[in-house]
Structure 1
Amino acid sequence: MNTDYSAMPFCSNKIRFLGIGLAGLLLVSCGYYSFKGSLPSNLKTVAIPLFNDKTAYPNIREKLTDYVITKFVEDNTLAIVDETLADVIVYGTINSITQKAVSVEQGETTSQYKLTISVKVKVEDLRNSKVLFEKTIKQYGLLDATAGLEERDRVIDETLLLIGDEIVDSTIGSW
């Protein structure tokens, strides 16, 4: 059997060129993708007044408000300004902190609690006089049954940080 391989290098180069071209086309067509929302150009600033608090837990409203402000500063999509200058405003009410047994050992002894914080959030576009979103955000942390007040405060702080992240993500992604 006599096979002529002289056409193979040309064919091989053609396939290689076609493969590189398709890969390049694929990369270009994917373009730039971001998980952040596409903000309207007129929305550049945000105000975050002190959150309301129905729990009476010490300093919780100040902590959550500060965490949300910090998260917006880190995100750097909207600048923090006074309410009178804001394009967007974030209102929040801390509705509850609940603690529920999640891990029970022999003898029905609780070994771990689920500490849940519930916050109602409303975000308004002040330039277009419309509500961007309004929802209740719930986040939780786990607390050892033998934990003292210091440990409880740490779990609350971690949970508030998660809520702050979700508020910023929901605000930026609501457009």
Structure 2
Amino acid sequence: MRMNAHKTLWLALAIGLTLWGCGYQMAGRGASQLPPHLKTIAIPVFENSSAEPALQRPFTEALRRAFITDGRLRLVNDQNRADLVMTGTLTKYWIRAVAFNSLDVAIEYWVYLEADVRVEDRVQNRTYLKQKLQTRWDYLADDSVVSSEASRQEALVQTYRVLSQRLVSLVNDKF
């Protein structure tokens, strides 16, 4: 039994050294691909031109949290003190039934969200990023309106999270 523990330890050490030697690192952590003059970002509340009201504030908060969690750019409130300013518009929101039971009642839906985003480099006075992004998340519905609405809200939170993480990667890593 002790021999297996030693083998496991040596194997883990060998894998760790191999990954370290290759320069492997987790995406979203460590060195940034950002130019050195970019240290701060401001993210004013996004606009909302979709048919669904009140999406912009929770999305913007999720986006801000994603940048704070990532930590490579410091979030600032004042656009005049920011190296980068991210603005955007939530352009589309829809729900589509994608699965039905034997009575033709919808039991699974997609929540779809699309955003147009622009990031301005205020230091060099140029557009740093201009991108249209979209994502969808599925959720299950049941006979209860309350639980189905809770599932829809959770799916919407997940779309915010996915779009936010994608934007963090696009800004910091250029992919």
Q: For residues 111 and 20 of structure 2, what CA distance do their matches in structure 1 show?
A: 47
In 2, are the aligned partners of 1:132 and 1:174 still within 8 Å (CA)? Answer: no
Q: For residues 32 and 95 of structure 1, what CA distance do their matches in structure 2 show?
A: 37
Match in the other structure for 2:132: 136
Q: TM-score, normalised by structure 1?
A: 0.75
Q: For residues 69 and 141 of structure 2, what CA distance do their matches in structure 1 show?
A: 34
Match in the other structure for 1:154: 154
TM-superposition CA deviations, 1:15-45 (whole Å, max 9, x none)? xxxxxxxxxxx88873465645422111101
Match in the other structure for 1:63: 58
Q: TM-score, normalised by structure 2?
A: 0.75
CA shift for structure 1 position 56: 5.5
Distance 1:30 1:99, change over 3 A: same
Match in the other structure for 1:120: 116
Q: Which sections of structure 1, spanning at least 5 residues, go unmatched?
A: 1-25
1:100 matches 2:131: no
Paired residue type of 2:139: L
Match in the other structure for 2:39: 44
Paired residue type of 1:30: C
TM-superposition CA deviations, 1:46-70 (whole Å, max 9, x none)? 0101100113645321111111111
Q: For residues 169 and 93 of structure 1, what CA distance do their matches in structure 2 show?
A: 19
In 2, are the aligned partners of 1:54 and 1:94 still within 8 Å (CA)? Answer: yes
> How many residue pairs align between the two structures?
152
CA shift for structure 1 position 174: 2.4
Identity %: 24
Match in the other structure for 1:164: 164
